[in-house]
Amino acid sequence: MHEPSGQSHGKVSGVLRWIGLALISLFVLVFLMLFATERWLFKTWSLLDLDEILYHLTSSVEGTNPEMVSDYIRHFGIYVILAFVLFWVTVIVTRKHRFLQRALVCLWVAAALGFGNYALIEANTKVDLADYLLELSSGRKDSGDFYFDHYVDPKEVEITFPEEKRNLIYIYLESMEMTYADEKNGGAFKENLIPELTSLSQKNEDFSGSSRLLNGAVPVRGTTWTMGAMFGQTSGLPLKLPISSKGVEYQVDNNFFPMLTSLGDLLDAEGYHQVMMFGSDAVFAGRESYFTMHGNYDIFDYKYAKATGLIPNDYYVFWGFEDLKLFDFAKTELTKLAAEDEPFNLTLLTVDTHFEDGYLCKECGNQYSDQYANVMACSSRQVAAFVEWIQQQDFYDNTTVIVCGDHLTMDTDFCADVPKDYQRRTVTSIINSAVKPMDAKRTRSYTTLDMFPTTLASLGVTIKGNRLGLGTNLFSVKDTLLEQYGYEDLDRHLHNSSDFMNQFMNVHITEDFMEQVANKAALSYRVENNGKLTFVVDNSYILNSDSIQKAELQLTDAAGKTATINMTVYQPENDPNIFSCYAKTDLTEDDIHGMKAEAFFTVEGFEHYSVATAEY
């Protein structure tokens, strides 16, 4: 027995209507989540920029503090869920009133669009989203390529270590600014929250010259979050991921800029035993990948502490374990390292002062009404006590200690009263350096990128030209890029994408990438004075010459006979992205009629890949 056609049509229409409502509900959900996420991001990270967002989208989120996830759900996610439920309540309650239902659904869609558009407008205001999209679509670059003009490759510079190598202890202080000192010492607070760190900087080297006011490093674009900061201070480069027309395809976790030479690479080559210590999971944000690939560091993190029984398996506070334990563990590690024959580099990253509000450990008091202020004061005392312990050890005489804030705090309200014209900078202190500033009276203006060559100089290393990466040795009299250009111009230059740096940092080579190489490469020949032919493959700003393991020319004559000749890579300028490959032959123009020539490159992951063909 068949249903009447009208009844059947009604059922189909009803099903389609509910499917349509389901799709609309997903649309509403997505736009509301976009709004909620945007609000949460800029509430949580007051200094967030697009470089950081793109970086974290391509790196591991394992090890993230679970409190951040719960904070999102508690403050914004719950409202999105409630709105989603309310949408369906509206739909169900008005299911028998089609006109009213449609009107209310339209209102929901309009509201979702409004919230979503607001989020996009706000994001554009905060992080120049439109500028990024323009760069993505047009491939806009910095005129003249600032990176190419100013980058100094450590592989191409004469770097000389002293016969007796000095040890290095490098302490990254999470979110620690000189701003927290009082105004009379160069800070911006009424009361000095960090008197111990202030004293360390004033008694040692912060490049303030003859001034008694504190001086610190300015974090530039690409160094304003922890991994970016550590990358910048050890490589002299901002952590910017390459951008193509397809977006950001680079994955840092297994391929962390392998062509780069960093502080860790240089010390490793000189026989240093290097240890990196975190109170959190080192996997987070690609930190383990970077420090193992660049310096072969031993990783001592939250997972290691659990695995070795230093903390119970169920122990977890804040991001893992607190700084009180970190400094205690570091003393043990230093004692072990000092007993070895080789020089050492022990690097630490503190965590208690991470936003929002930090972690108040058992040693912290309640001197101030604000928890974050108490945490900062506590950290100042703990760092000073740790440095004092180091100074009492036998290894100290031959050890440089560097204390440096990683970046400015992202806490949304802690620096709300700081004057807008105050230049916020990180705490910086170089203790027991092997050298002194050449101009002891000069107050330097510098960025965290300058810490790369300056750290080496503090170990007694001489650097021809006194520049590495985009950084300048602050002990020299050479101007920094900040002194040359000023903050606004330097920031603008660093913001722009760079073909030179994209290729130098070895963009992950994919099938799509090799297709682009083949589309750009051109195979031709030239007639030499002796009448013989030289075959040439021209390539510009696509593939890095250092990435080519082998270049070959294959010649096939009309009879099908094949000959393969190795090609020579020729780089006419000091730029690995501008090069050509050539192969000299005994052939003349009369010999190549009916001949096919084909060029092949072998690079990592691609063997004997055809990049150019020509038939004669």
CATH number for position 527: 2.60.40.2440
- pTM of the model as a whole: 0.70
**Is 447 within the bounds of a domain?**
yes
Per-residue three-class SS string for 365-398: CCCCCCHHHHHHHHHHHHHHHHHHHHHCCHHHHH
Q: From residue 337, give the alpha-carbon distance in Å to each of 163, 273, 562.
A: 19, 8, 59
- In the chain, what percentage of residues exceed pLDDT 70? 81
> Of 504, 539, 566, which one is at a domain's C-terminal end?
504
Q: Provide the pLDDT confidence category of residue 335 given band limits of 50, 70 and 90.
A: very high
- Same domain flag for 495 and 526: no
- Same domain flag for 36 and 177: no
**Is 569 within the bounds of a domain?**
yes
- Same domain flag for 108 and 169: no
**Is 558 within the bounds of a domain?**
yes
Higher pLDDT among residues 509 and 155, named by residue: 155
Q: Which residues pair with 570 in a beta bridge?
A: 580
Averaged confidence pLDDT in the chain: 85
Asked if 556 and 596 touch (Cβ cutoff 8 Å), the reply is yes
Count of the separate structural domains present in the chain = 3
**Is 30 within the bounds of a domain?**
yes
**Is 375 within the bounds of a domain?**
yes
Q: 194-234, pLDDT tens digit by residue?
A: 999 999 999 999 999 999 999 999 999 889 888 999 999 99
- Same domain flag for 491 and 523: no
Q: 102-147, pLDDT tens digit by residue?
A: 888 888 888 888 877 777 777 666 666 556 555 555 554 545 578 8
**Is 82 within the bounds of a domain?**
yes
- Same domain flag for 172 and 74: no
- What pLDDT is attached to residue 111? 83
Q: Is 63 left (phi over 0), alpha (psi -120 to 50) or beta?
A: left
- What pLDDT is attached to residue 72? 61
Q: Provide the pLDDT confidence category of residue 71 given band limits of 50, 70 and 90.
A: low
Mean pLDDT is lowest, of 299-303, 359-363, 572-576, for 572-576
Q: 432-452, pLDDT tens digit by residue?
A: 999 999 999 999 999 999 999
- DSSP calls for 200-219: HHHHSBSS-TT--S---BBP
- Same domain flag for 273 and 421: yes
**Is 154 within the bounds of a domain?**
no
> Of 504, 538, 560, which one is at a domain's C-terminal end?
504
Number of alpha carbons in the 13 Å side-chain half-sphere of residue 601? 26
Look up the CATH number of the domain holding residue 363. 3.40.720.10
- What pLDDT is attached to residue 105? 83
**Is 483 within the bounds of a domain?**
yes
- What pLDDT is attached to residue 3? 54
- What pLDDT is attached to residue 17? 73
Domain that holds residue 432: 160-504
Integer distance in angstroms from the first to the last C-alpha of the chain?
A: 75
